[in-house]
Amino acid sequence: MIIVVSLFLSLSLFAAPLSLKNSPYYSSKASASIIIFYTTWCPPCQRSLAILDSIQKIHPNIALHRVCVDDTQSQKKAIPYGLGQSIPLILIADHSGNIVKRFSALPDKSILNALIQRLEEGRLENGTLPIEQRVDTWKMDRKGM
């Protein structure tokens, strides 16, 4: 029983939320929101920040939030967002605030850029349209037959 409780607590402490809608990191005007939890002494964090800055220049409609977790207090505030043992932690949310991707290492710029492009087009992470739009497209195709 102790193992089950400790496993549940560790999963709930380090699992990222499904939505940022009720957080200070949500922007209803942004096409996507990106949060990076980083430290000043971490080389992969610094490279990730540089990649995200360049992505933001290409896609100015995204909201980029940088959260430094150098001290214990800021680390405690970041735990509900899934901060565990590894940094950087990067969360990507769509325009509705739903988290669609989580990176716990230095992301590849081309993959990140393609993901942001799909989100700006209103597509899902995998590039498909949301279900409502797919059904509407299917109905329109059926009427033309």
> Residue written as tokens 């959260």?
67
Among the listed residues 94, 86, 124, the one whose alpha carbon sits nearest the alpha carbon of residue 19: 94
Report the C-alpha gap between 10 and 50 in whole angstroms: 31
At 91 the pLDDT is 92
Report the C-alpha gap between 129 and 54 in whole angstroms: 27
Predicted confidence (pLDDT) per residue in 3-56, tens digit: 433 334 444 444 545 788 888 888 888 889 999 999 999 999 999 999 999 999
Predicted confidence (pLDDT) per residue in 52-99, tens digit: 999 999 999 999 999 999 999 998 888 888 888 788 999 999 888 888
